Structure 1
Amino acid sequence: MRTFTNPLTRRGLFRSAAGAGLGAGFTSGWLRALAAGAPKKPAKSVIVLWLDGGPATIDLWDLKPGHANGGPFRAIDTAAPGLKIGEHLPKLAKLGKDLAVVRSMSTKEGDHGRATYLLRTGYTPLGAIQYPAAGAVIAKELGAEAGDLPNFVSVAPARNAASGGGFLGPHFDPLVVGELTAPQDGLKVPDLARTAGVGDDAQRARLELLAGAERQFAAGRESAVAGSVRAATARAVRLMKPEAAAAFDLEQEKPKARDAYGRGLFGQGCLLARRLVERGVPFVEVTLDGWDTHQNNFDRVKDLCGALDAGFAALLADLKDRGMLDSTLVVCQGEFGRTPKINGNTGRDHWPASWAVALAGGGLKTGQAVGRTSTDGAAVEDKPRGVPDLIATVAKAVGIDPKKQNMSNVGRPIRVADPDAEPIKELL
């Protein structure tokens, strides 16, 4: 099974600090930061619902009824006039006025790894440049530097391609919560609670010992590595604060609310995403794995839609009820689409040439579909869009200049979105 290989847990942060020998300045400055009030909430947040494996968007957002490529699924009306989606997304259909579907995505990467890298960074892999994930960029631009909660959280990620801070540094790596094999109650950050029997005085003494070790090691050895270790350790300690740890406690939610999202890992991840953005986390990614449907596509898509429909719809309804939908952009996407033509195993294969992505909230113009594919679904006929255009659109929606540059690890400035990117004007 594909797994994320760089989980940033509290224990991992402390181990990283210890392994690096600890850096300078881990003194009363960060101790005072622990007692600071809640960080200022960013103006916008982004939640990405990542459909890992490449979803058959022809069966979700851009159906072709009556054509041999269309398969057995029906297109159903939504609450937005003229916007139709797949019959196995009935809860989302009721929220059609809050959805915008871009049906004209077109890319050239049909390999899982390269396509995932492209979708998560906006760039294709290029030599030694370590491109950051879009979540890391948004965390840098919108995050609270000294906040108790992480600025980038990834729930049960399935792939390790371009998932971290890249040339922005490990400070912008995501905190990983849950694993694909986790049970329903598996969305917890391990080791947040103190070891049994460790009281306030003992905890304080341990932190002072850690600070002293950092000062001793860092004397005359100040470096970027030491600075990263200090920041990571401080973040780990802040995350242990009761107020921060409580953000991950889904038991604080009413059972009815948890049921509405779906009790599976994806549904509970969507609920956790709402709790986190409500507390100012600027970027959360929730993965729903299983969309690599080379065989038995229609049964598998129907089953996956049960989780997607419940979690996505409950998230939108919840954000709307709390007055948070306009300030939270939700993007539902995978790394590419799947072939319009059905193969001999009743499956669909990789197809980057024409596919769709769904967006909601974030002040976008919703209740519409943008772009059009051919009657057989094989080609984009109107308003073709690439991944850089999507990245630029997300950036504009949250108030980030897509042309802003960050210095890369090879000394070359890199823009948030590719220089040729054009935001999707129909959405903004």
Structure 2
Amino acid sequence: MLNLQYSARTVSPLCNGHTRRDFLQIGALGLGGITLSQLLRAEAQAGGANSQGSSAGRKPGTKSVIMVYLVGGPPHQDMWDMKPDAPVEIAGPMRPAPSNVPGMEFCDLLPKLNQRADRLAVVRSIVDSQAGHDAHQCYTGRVPSKSAPAGGWPQFGSVVGKIQGPVEAAIPPFASLAYTTTHGPYNEPGPGFLGIGQSAFGALGDARQNMVLNGVTPERLGDRRNLLSSMDKLRRDFDRSGKLSGMDAICQQAFDILTSSKLADALDLSKEDPATVARYGTGNTKIMIDANGAPRVPQSFLLARRLVEAGCRVVTLNYSKWDWHGGLNAEGRANNSIFLREKEDFPIFDNGLACLLDDLKDRGLSDDVTVLVWGEFGRTPIISKQVGRDHWPRVNSCLLAGGGMRTGQIIGSTDRHGGEATSRPTKFGEIFATLYHNLGISPHATVTDLSGRPQYLVHDQAQAMKELI
């Protein structure tokens, strides 16, 4: 079972010395006595708990996005844009395998995705990737820049939360399953100018144990909430910085979560069918494949499905480490080649993502939930002397599924070496515009920045991709 925690990227001290997490440690508010677990048991006894986390509790018509960030940039030439006829120093040893869609082939180490190609769309020709190891563009659609508005660009989930709000009070509109990495730019950029009230609800850590009501009944919780609101209003009267903006939303969400078991149930894998948990496989949350990457944890795919079932509009997760430059041992022999890493990583990734696609289909959620998989850039066509592929921002790719999109197709193409786009050049903004469209949000809508200026949701007012919608 994984516990609840607000994202580690949102726990920096506020101007009064408290952190966002402090405000969710309700015991610190002096509310003493009844624990969250007691509340959960009481609701379960009343028949309110959803023991299997099924989509029965999800409001009909709710649209969601699961965004999977492959930390470090996956090798498109070895996954879903293979070049078997290229010279060996470009093609490498991996080979494509036939899928259930003629002409649509993935690596033979991805057999389950090949079997589900009719439910997938691959964009092979993203041309505006930035060159650094930075997740910012994958989460915001914007290149990291000093010209960003004050506060910075908000990430996709924060924008959706701001515009659409929660489906229901006890379920945050935006939840993150992303592990904190030691390389700062790999981490989610946060809510930017929208303020901390639109931060992701982080689903990792021990905050579930910290949600304690000390010595009051749920009936008295409302009185305590009113008292806290009055105190906060007084404090805001003295605050001229605006830094406390958003705290009302955080406190409100904390109280809502305390009085409902739905979010806790979604994150409790002991409530899932054990056969389903086993089917996804397991990973070690403590061990990073590389020191500054994310762990290889296929359970994240399962938790993402449970969160969108519960009503989250956007769920983000990061998965493994894909920056495979290769390496040589003391004798000059490759012992960390990209192809050894692919043989380790591809099958586990293939299985976890396939299980997610199957679960969404079996539960009738395929048309309502969009799945996006990508990294910050592509990899070099030529295999290096260290038996790796280096950074290549000139072309990138992504995998899309669900969302009522037209799947079973390849969009765009690259040259015979996989190094340049030769048709349908695509930009990040078009992918984000498509995601907003799938959620029922106009990509030409705006949100207001800290200066009061309206900002468009996508860069250059990009259009949703007509090939997909």
Provide the TM-score with structure 1 as the length reference: 0.85
Going from structure 1 to structure 2, the CA distance change for 1:174 and 1:303 (only over 3 Å counts) comes to same
Aligned residues of 1:192 and 1:239 also touching (Cα < 8 A)? no
1:142 is the counterpart of 2:164: yes
In structure 2, give the amino acid aligned to 1:143: G
What are the equivalent positions in structure 2 for 1:3-18 lying under 5 Å apart? 5-6=9-10, 13=20, 15-16=22-23
Aligned to 2:194: 168
Aligned partner of 1:155 among 177, 190, 196: 177
CA distance in 2, matches of 1:258, 1:331: 22
- Percent identity among equivalent residues? 33
Aligned residues of 1:17 and 1:230 also touching (Cα < 8 A)? no
**Structure 2: 5+ residue stretches without partners:** 1-6, 13-17, 30-42, 49-56, 286-296, 327-336
What are the equivalent positions in structure 2 for 1:163-312 lying under 5 Å apart? 163-178=189-204, 189-191=207-209, 194=212, 201=217, 208-209=223-224, 211-219=226-234, 221-222=236-237, 225-226=243-244, 228-240=246-258, 241-264=260-283, 266-295=297-326, 296-312=337-353
1:163 is displaced (CA, Å) by 2.8
Aligned residues of 1:105 and 1:355 also touching (Cα < 8 A)? yes
Aligned to 2:415: 374
What are the equivalent positions in structure 2 for 1:71-150 lying under 5 Å apart? 71-113=92-134, 116-124=135-143, 125-129=145-149, 130-144=152-166, 147-150=169-172
Aligned residues of 2:25 and 2:212 also touching (Cα < 8 A)? no
CA distance in 2, matches of 1:177, 1:18: 15
Q: Kindly provide the CA deviation profile for residues 370-408 of structure 1, in whole angstroms up to 9, marking residues without a partner as x.
A: 111001111100001111111112112222111111111
SS in 2 for 1:319: helix
Going from structure 1 to structure 2, the CA distance change for 1:175 and 1:212 (only over 3 Å counts) comes to same
SS in 2 for 1:140: helix
1:204 is displaced (CA, Å) by 6.0
CA distance in 1, matches of 2:81, 2:298: 24
Aligned to 1:321: 362
CA distance in 1, matches of 2:461, 2:248: 38
CA distance in 2, matches of 1:289, 1:318: 22
1:227 is displaced (CA, Å) by 5.3
Going from structure 1 to structure 2, the CA distance change for 1:213 and 1:379 (only over 3 Å counts) comes to closer
1:226 is displaced (CA, Å) by 4.8
Aligned to 1:32: none
1:43 is displaced (CA, Å) by 2.7
Aligned to 1:342: 383
CA distance in 2, matches of 1:138, 1:194: 29
CA distance in 2, matches of 1:299, 1:144: 43
1:242 is displaced (CA, Å) by 2.2
1:16 is displaced (CA, Å) by 4.3
In structure 2, give the amino acid aligned to 1:104: S
RMSD: 2.9
Aligned to 1:49: 68
Aligned residues of 2:263 and 2:310 also touching (Cα < 8 A)? no
Q: Kindly provide the CA deviation profile for residues 77-131 of structure 1, in whole angstroms up to 9, marking residues without a partner as x.
A: 1112211011111111111110000011112411012xx2122111122435111
Deviates more, 1:232-241 or 1:53-62: 232-241
Aligned residues of 1:341 and 1:348 also touching (Cα < 8 A)? yes
CA distance in 2, matches of 1:272, 1:12: 26
CA distance in 2, matches of 1:122, 1:412: 19
CA distance in 2, matches of 1:148, 1:217: 21
CA distance in 2, matches of 1:244, 1:330: 21
Aligned residues of 1:65 and 1:75 also touching (Cα < 8 A)? yes
Aligned residues of 1:39 and 1:146 also touching (Cα < 8 A)? no
Going from structure 1 to structure 2, the CA distance change for 1:145 and 1:99 (only over 3 Å counts) comes to closer
1:221 is displaced (CA, Å) by 3.6
Aligned to 2:329: none
